Structure 1
Amino acid sequence: MDMMELIKTRKSFRTFDGTKISESDLKKLCNYIKTIDNPYDIPVEFMILDTEKYGLSSPVIEGEDIYIAAKVPKVEHCEEAFGYSFEKMVLYAWSLGIGTTWIGGTLNRELFERAADTKDDEYMMIVTPLGYPSETQSEVDSKLRQSVRGDERFPSSELFFEGDFSNPIESSEDCLEAVRWAPSAANRQPWRIVKVENSYHFYVRHTEGYVSIVDWEVQKIDLGIAICHFLSVCDGEFVICDPEIDSDEFTEYIATITVVNNDKN
């Protein structure tokens, strides 16, 4: 399965068949997460958490075997670094046939943070169950997916622009299509990209009226995921240098990627 196929076929699984992750698959995943980095050079530490040992569960998950949590230092851009690194793990897990889903709210956060030994200068933002997907969805799983329209994505013309935000583009570029199919909290798809020649300027479009119940910015995690997808299918130079393109009060610059190779498949 090539990277674009991984990106397009990955989805959130909340119903698993109850089979334990094989020793072979778990070893591959553990070895892989040791190699994960991100363009922010901010360390993201992963840990495997046994459900029985720590008494972990989520009311929206059935049949999970174990969880993976991750921690990141409380520094600038930690959300984007976390999102980038966690999504790399998610995509690799899916290449092994292991299902995941991003969980930030429907969990006993205090219990998970204690199991992950989270320090005062760290955030444990997200966890995911790991398991082999069940052939049938639970009722809760099905309703959640329908409520956020999990199988749908905005058209390119609402997400991508050329030159400035007044010129939407319909793009079939793999790098942009990979971003379009990225997962996001409540499927809000907050990323916006302005293409100027070979440079792609990433912005977060903050949802109007959205109030976070945590200390970090969830939608910036989504931007880290988007950047991960983009760089998974093309090579580029990553910088943070605001091009000062006119935007509204809800749109915030995040980073720029200048493409040097538009095909990694």
Structure 2
Amino acid sequence: MNTSQAFIELVRKRTSIRKYSDQSFEAQEFKEILNLFKELETGLFGSKIRYKLISNLDEQAETRFGTYGFISGAQYYIAGAVNQNPMAFIDFGYNTEKLILALTGLNLGTCWLGGTFSRGQFAEEINLQENELLPCITPVGYATESRGLREKLIRFGAKSDTRLPFETLFLNTETNTISDDFIQMLECVRMAPSASNKQPWRLVVTDNQFGFYLKRTAGYGKFTPGNDLQQVDMGIALAHFTGAAEAFGYTFTISNGSNMEILPEMEAVAEVVLSK
């Protein structure tokens, strides 16, 4: 399997795991996870990010950390803190999705949690500072062999296995001739996870330039005040795109959206330029 096919398979393999087995980590797995933390200390736009592996192993393993019933059996969680700045949420989404894809490659299950966890408990565990944000956490471990009824209902309610049409997410692809490589790279973006599966990213493709825009879901932010999960989603989409680009042999440069065309009802986030 070549590099591009391997990345596409990794993207397809990643799924949200909410029910975990009691299989513990080996020493090598602990080492690999901690090494990943070190590799992901700086975000795409320079934000400082730190991660901590938090044990949930004690006499009250199911109740020690609150996830409002969304997660069952997790022995470990990963919490991440990012320094506050205008690109913090995007950088956090980018680096944490890279982490999650790497963990998927280690056959470990994860699940993005942005609004369904006890923030105070995890903030205390990671010793969150006044100048830091704690956007999301994820359990990490081995999935059970089958999904329980509750997990199936959660996935059904969020329409987790559905994606918006290609032409809805990638705005001018119907009128442009796009290479097969680019189509597959865009499909990796389309397969990215997002909060409540809202898929808020929109891309404008011009030759080798890819403009990333955020189309906000009306009223969504009121559920997580001060925690911009849709900017986190944009970071996740960028992680899938740049990861696919590198897998297909491209290099990329990226800039923030300050010089991008203004589009109605959208926020310019970033422009990625590919070369080979």
Asked if Structure 1 and Structure 2 have the same fold, meaning a TM-score greater than 0.5 normalized by the shorter chain, the answer is yes
Q: Describe the superposition over 1:34-90 as per-residue Cα deviations: whole angstroms up to 9, x where unpaired.
A: 112432111110001111369224211111110000000111110000000100110
Offset of residue 23 of structure 1: 1.9
Answer yes or no: is 1:114 the counterpart of 2:124. yes
**Matched letter for residue 114 of structure 2:** G
Residue equivalent to 1:31: 35
Query: CA distance change for structure 1 residues 188 and 168 in 2, over 3 Å: closer, same or farther?
Result: farther
Q: Aligned to 1:72, what secondary structure does the other structure show?
A: strand
Residue equivalent to 2:160: 150
Q: Aligned to 2:86, what secondary structure does the other structure show?
A: coil
Q: Aligned to 1:257, what secondary structure does the other structure show?
A: strand
**Matched letter for residue 274 of structure 2:** V
Answer yes or no: is 1:51 the counterpart of 2:56. yes
Offset of residue 211 of structure 1: 3.0
Q: Give the whole-Å Cα distance in 1 for the aligned partners of 2:187 and 2:179.
A: 8
Query: CA distance change for structure 1 residues 171 and 160 in 2, over 3 Å: closer, same or farther?
Result: farther
Query: CA distance change for structure 1 residues 247 and 169 in 2, over 3 Å: closer, same or farther?
Result: farther
Kept in 1: contact 2:262–2:268 (CA 8 A): no
Query: CA distance change for structure 1 residues 170 and 135 in 2, over 3 Å: closer, same or farther?
Result: farther
Q: Give the whole-Å Cα distance in 1 for the aligned partners of 2:54 and 2:113.
A: 14
Identity %: 28
**Matched letter for residue 41 of structure 1:** G
Structure 1: any 5+ residue segments left out of the alignment?
none
Query: Which shows bigger deviation, 172-181 or 144-153?
Result: 172-181
Q: Give the whole-Å Cα distance in 1 for the aligned partners of 2:244 and 2:188.
A: 7
Query: CA distance change for structure 1 residues 76 and 148 in 2, over 3 Å: closer, same or farther?
Result: same
Answer yes or no: is 1:15 the counterpart of 2:19. yes
2:217 aligned to 200, 207, 223, which one? 207
Query: CA distance change for structure 1 residues 167 and 242 in 2, over 3 Å: closer, same or farther?
Result: farther
Kept in 2: contact 1:238–1:258 (CA 8 A): yes
**Matched letter for residue 269 of structure 2:** I
1:192 aligned to 196, 202, 222, which one? 202
Offset of residue 246 of structure 1: 4.6
Give the TM-score taking structure 2 as reference length.
0.87
RMSD: 2.1
Q: Aligned to 1:75, what secondary structure does the other structure show?
A: coil
Offset of residue 131 of structure 1: 1.0
Structure 2: any 5+ residue segments left out of the alignment?
246-250
Query: Which shows bigger deviation, 135-144 or 86-95?
Result: 135-144
Residue equivalent to 2:271: 256
Give the TM-score taking structure 1 as reference length.
0.91
Query: CA distance change for structure 1 residues 127 and 76 in 2, over 3 Å: closer, same or farther?
Result: same
Q: Give the whole-Å Cα distance in 2 for the aligned partners of 1:75 and 1:56.
A: 28
**Matched letter for residue 23 of structure 1:** A
Q: Aligned to 1:178, what secondary structure does the other structure show?
A: helix
